[in-house]
Amino acid sequence: MPKFFIHWKVDPTKIPLNPEERAKLWLSMLEMVKADMKADVIKDWGMRSAELSGYGVSELSEVEVHSAMMS
């Protein structure tokens, strides 16, 4: 089965300046990651907080990976 390495980056211009709003955004994004891991959309996930980027690993098919990335 193929594995896909997904590299992602956060657009810093989209991050709220208000610390409370920023924390709420990060927590909501982490909930989406947890849901994807529970549903086996991604097998592994990590973040480099200083660079606002990270990775995910998926074992879905090519079509399923591309479809998941667009939704």
Reported as a single tens digit per residue, the pLDDT across 7-30 is 999 999 999 999 999 999 999 999
Checking if the pLDDT of 1 tops 80, the result is: no
Question: Is 55 within 8 Å of 8 (Cβ atoms)?
Answer: yes
pTM, full prediction: 0.79
Question: Is 22 within 8 Å of 16 (Cβ atoms)?
Answer: yes
What is the side-by-side strand order in the sheet with 44-48? 4-9, 53-58, 44-48
Nearest to 44 by CA among 53, 31, 34: 34
